[in-house]
Structure 1
Amino acid sequence: MSTSKKPEPSAYLNAIANDNSLPIEQAALDLWLKDLQNPLRWGVRPLLQFIFAILLHLIWFFKRLPLPQFSAHQSLQKLICWFCTHFVSKEANLLILRHYATESNVLNFLAANSPASDIAPVQLYPKCIADMQQASFVEHDQQLFRLFGELGSWHHPPQPLPATKVSWQHWQPIDMAKFQLAEKRTQWLDFESAHALFMCLFCLLLTREQYRDAINGFNLDQSIAIRIGDLVGDSNLREMAYNKFPHYLVGPWNLGQRFLMHGFFTEQLYAYLEQRRLASNYPA
């Protein structure tokens, strides 16, 4: 009786599995490599992205007509949580939960080490899908915009902060064991296919301004990298940001890639800062 063997990763996947040129935690890399080998990503995702990209632009046009605006934020988040619970793969769900934690940590590091004082830290650290009912994607965006508003204009410091002066006050290291996910047989959808399904719902169930702001919020990645680079004395950090130039507002074109690269950016910047925290012997 013959037994089927799991196909070996390709030569390229083996290469990136061993490439640590860019900082990324091994847990995140393992999740992403497994997601990349989901057969649906290569068979179903291109069709979904093609169909829903057309639908997205039609909804985008509809929302820009001179009609009353409507928003169903709570219904949107309930639908997303239900879909993630039943249909999105464990790897993709863990990557989503990690994204909340990586971005919250990055923003809290920026707030804690900026000249502005009395900035409330970001508290979005969901540990399960149900937590995203409150720690919603819209709230995730709004916390980013709030923080930038409270930080105000950035005055590039002439010197980086000494290591002893760097604050890790609100930093929460990611512990994969604390994420709570119950696996179901129906959870088969990869990360990018799930996003292709979600993006039209976001456009439909948010006001045009809310959605426009959300898809342009990615472009603040460059600003975050510049500011943190100033603080730690590493101008190379801005090279991590794929999404750039926040003053140039964009529409939904190429949204899937921009969303994914935003996720890579926060993972890489989090890993970079976590390495510095561990090197400083700051307690967890």
Structure 2
Amino acid sequence: MTWHNNFSDQKIHKDDPNPWLALYLDNSLPMHKSAKRALLQGQNSGSRRLLLPIIRPFARLMIIVVQLLRMIIPSKWSSSKVLHYTIYWGLKHFVKKDANYLILRHFNIGTELLQFIADNTGITIESTIPLRPKKLEDLKDDTFLIHDLNVYNFIAELNQKLTDAGREFEAPEVINYDAITDDEFDIDPGKQGIMNIIDLQTAVEAYTPLYALLLSDHDFWRASNSLQLDETFAIYISKLMRDPLAVTLVSNRHPTVPFSTLQAGFRLMLHGLDAEILHGYLREQKQKAGNPS
């Protein structure tokens, strides 16, 4: 059976419950409602059911082929500009509007999570570049690569400055939520055209070999392993909030023991979910702090 995507007016059928509707109605995870709807509509799409099982094994095979070729191809034969233009072009013409909405949200969320940690440790971070893409065209400015660099640079600079100051991670007396946007971001994911049929997870799997091809082997390895740093940021947030819940909310863990790059596509999906949930958790805490009753 094909379940409907429009969760807002769909009825619960006890004899054949829609699993995506059940997850949409479930409120156990602190996730923005529009983002949750967009993610689950993609999971419930024909694209994911029909194309993903075909594209995923082919994409992983291509990663192996590319990495073998990288043994003989000079590292200078790479182009972040071509990669980002190709991603932008594909998202604009073939990927669903809901998926593009989630992608644009992700970079805004990442910027806010880093700023929240910096604000509440009292450390000024100078090595990162805030990413606030509002439309798909903004992604052409090396956004994906800068996002990965920001993660590593933030961790390195933050911990070096804490060490130099003889300090440890500790919770502030009052949490500063200024970095966390309460509701929706000012973003335009583009139009839902007749050719925009690819869901987010299928698009991620399809783009992963392109990452391997158009980035150097070193850059691809670094980008892939950055996904496991979700646990690191969750630990920071848990310490600042004096609440272990944040650590339990993330799935990408153990960055010191990296997974194979063949799993990068799946872990990228988890990374997006982890970021949404951490941001949703902080948004809920901000709302509670503003309404203590």
Provide the TM-score with structure 2 as the length reference: 0.86
Match of 1:98 among 105, 108, 117: 105
Compared with structure 1, are the counterparts of its residues 169 and 11 closer, same or farther at alpha carbon in structure 2 (3 Å cutoff)? closer
Matches of 1:55 and 1:14, distance apart in 2: 35
1:204 alignment counterpart:
213
Alignment deviations for residues 224-254 of structure 1 (CA, whole Å, 9 cap, x no partner):
0011100001112111221111112332132
One-letter amino acid of the structure 2 residue matched with residue 114 of structure 1: T
Contact 2:230 2:274 (8 Å CA) reproduced:
yes
1:83 alignment counterpart:
90
SS of corresponding position for 2:27 = coil
Compared with structure 1, are the counterparts of its residues 17 and 259 closer, same or farther at alpha carbon in structure 2 (3 Å cutoff)? same
Pairwise CA RMSD of aligned residues? 2.3
One-letter amino acid of the structure 1 residue matched with residue 56 of structure 2: Q
Aligned residues: 274
Compared with structure 1, are the counterparts of its residues 22 and 170 closer, same or farther at alpha carbon in structure 2 (3 Å cutoff)? closer
Alignment deviations for residues 187-239 of structure 1 (CA, whole Å, 9 cap, x no partner):
01111111121111100110111000000001111110011100001112111
1:276 alignment counterpart:
285
2:141 alignment counterpart:
134
Matches of 1:273 and 1:135, distance apart in 2: 28
SS of corresponding position for 2:134 = coil
SS of corresponding position for 1:247 = coil
2:247 alignment counterpart:
238
Q: Name stretches of at least 5 consecutive residues in structure 1 with no aligned partner.
A: none
2:114 alignment counterpart:
107
Match of 1:160 among 142, 152, 171: 171
- Is it true that 1:35 corresponds to 2:42 in the alignment? yes
Matches of 1:121 and 1:57, distance apart in 2: 32
Matches of 1:182 and 1:241, distance apart in 2: 32
One-letter amino acid of the structure 1 residue matched with residue 109 of structure 2: T
1:110: how far off? Answer: 1.1
Contact 1:108 1:121 (8 Å CA) reproduced:
no
- Is it true that 1:68 corresponds to 2:74 in the alignment? yes
Q: Name stretches of at least 5 consecutive residues in structure 2 with no aligned partner.
A: none
Match of 2:236 among 211, 215, 227: 227
One-letter amino acid of the structure 1 residue matched with residue 289 of structure 2: S
Q: Identify the range of structure 1 (6-15 vs 93-102) with the bigger mean alpha-carbon deviation.
A: 6-15
Q: Percent identity?
A: 23
